[in-house]
Amino acid sequence: NAGVTQTPKFQVLKTGQSMTLQCAQDMNHNSMYWYRQDPGMGLRLIYYSASEGTTDKGEVPNGYNVSRLNKREFSLRLESAAPSQTSVYFCASSEVDGRKEQFFGPGTRLTVL
Partner 1 sequence: GENVEQHPSTLSVQEGDSAVIKCTYSDSASNYFPWYKQELGKRPQLIIDIRSNVGEKKDQRIAVTLNKTAKHFSLHITETQPEDSAVYFCAASAAGGYQKVTFGTGTKLQVIP
Q: How far is the CB of 105 from partner 1 (least distance, A)?
A: 6
Q: Which helix (H) or strand (E) holds 111?
A: strand 108-112
| 89: contact with partner 1 by CB under 8 A | no
For 41, residues 6+ apart whose C-beta sits below 8 A from its C-beta are none
Distance CA 62, CA 92 (A): 19
- By CB under 8 A, how many residues form the interface with partner 1? 22
Asked if residue 52 binds partner 1 (CB under 8 A), the reply is: no
**Residue 14: CB minimum distance to partner 1, A:** 25
- In the set 29, 36, 90, 93, which binds partner 1 (CB under 8 A)? 90
Q: Is 107 in the site for partner 1 (CB under 8 A)?
A: yes
Helix, strand, coil fractions of the chain, as percent rounded to 5:
5, 50, 45
DSSP-derived secondary structure letter, 99: T
Stretch that binds partner 1, among 10-18, 21-29, 68-76, 102-110 (CB under 8 A): 102-110
